[in-house]
């Protein structure tokens, strides 16, 4: 008995190749556009924060943070290093998240936790957290009044 040879055409159809090339091209274009938009939004946000800070009189409070053995975060006056309040474990998730981001950036730049942050309150109620060491700033009002209020509480806290 003679072996049967099956002949299969392994060539990919041209319309399928064209469709795949178009999809790849559109993916690259959309990715580039998305990246550009993110850059534009970040630049606008930075300009808005700068404008807010330059617009009027501001009040600034230097504050530092220290992790506690029980999971709390002690909030310290940045000048006297007296404890002014604490962020208790499982509370103020927004504050904890922002502080984790700032701490991560400081660690990546080889900066320790000691230099205080600046919590800035403008006359129109805008609240900004600034790290003078990394130059990172976060316009806290952008995250809604409840989240901004969590930091506002830190701004007005006094050592007991």
- What average pLDDT is seen over the chain? 82
Take residue 24 and report the two structure tokens written for it.
């790849």
Q: What is the pLDDT of residues 120-155, one digit of tens each?
A: 888 778 889 999 888 888 889 888 888 888 888 888
Residues 6+ apart with CB under 8 A from 45: 139, 142
Q: Mean pLDDT over residues 52-57, rounded?
A: 62
Q: Assess contact for 115 and 102: CB atoms under 8 A.
A: no
pLDDT band at 90 (very low <50, low <70, confident <90, very high): confident
Question: What is the structure's pLDDT at 32?
Answer: 84
Q: Give the position of tokens 């501001």.
A: 58
Write the DSSP symbol of residue 142. G
**C-alpha dist (Å) from residue 31 to 25, 38, 70, 145, 152:** 10, 11, 44, 33, 38
Q: Assess contact for 65 and 78: CB atoms under 8 A.
A: no
The rounded distance, in Å, linking the Cα atoms of 30 and 33 is 5
**C-alpha dist (Å) from residue 8 to 5, 11, 12, 77, 134:** 10, 9, 12, 77, 63
Question: What is the structure's pLDDT at 118?
Answer: 92
Q: Kindly tell me if the per-residue pLDDT of 102 is higher than 70.
A: yes
Q: Mean pLDDT over residues 78-98, rounded?
A: 87
Question: What is the structure's pLDDT at 18?
Answer: 92
Determine what percent of the chain is predicted with pLDDT higher than 90.
Answer: 14
Could you tell me which of 115, 111, 128, 120 has the C-alpha nearest to residue 78?
115
More confident call, 138 vs 160: 138
Q: Which long-range contacts (CB under 8 A, 24 or more apart) does 82-86 make?
A: 82/159, 83/159, 83/160, 84/154, 84/157, 84/158, 84/159, 84/160, 85/153, 85/154, 85/157
């Amino acid at each position: 008995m003679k072996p049967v040879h099956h002949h299969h055409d392994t060539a990919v159809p041209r319309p399928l190749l064209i469709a795949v090339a178009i999809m790849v091209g559109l993916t690259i274009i959309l990715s580039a556009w998305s990246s550009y938009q993110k850059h534009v939004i970040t630049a606008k946000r930075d300009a808005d924060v700068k404008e807010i800070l330059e617009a009027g009189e501001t009040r600034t409070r230097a504050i530092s943070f220290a992790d506690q053995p029980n999971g709390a975060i002690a909030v310290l006056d940045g000048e006297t290093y007296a404890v002014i309040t604490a962020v208790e474990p499982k509370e103020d998730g927004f504050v904890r998240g922002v502080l984790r981001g700032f701490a991560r950036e400081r660690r990546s730049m080889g900066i320790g936790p000691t230099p205080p942050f600046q919590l800035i309150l403008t006359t129109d109620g805008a609240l900004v957290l600034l790290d003078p060491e990394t130059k990172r700033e976060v316009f806290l009002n952008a995250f809604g009044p409840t989240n901004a209020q969590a930091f506002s509480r830190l701004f007005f806290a006094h050592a007991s």
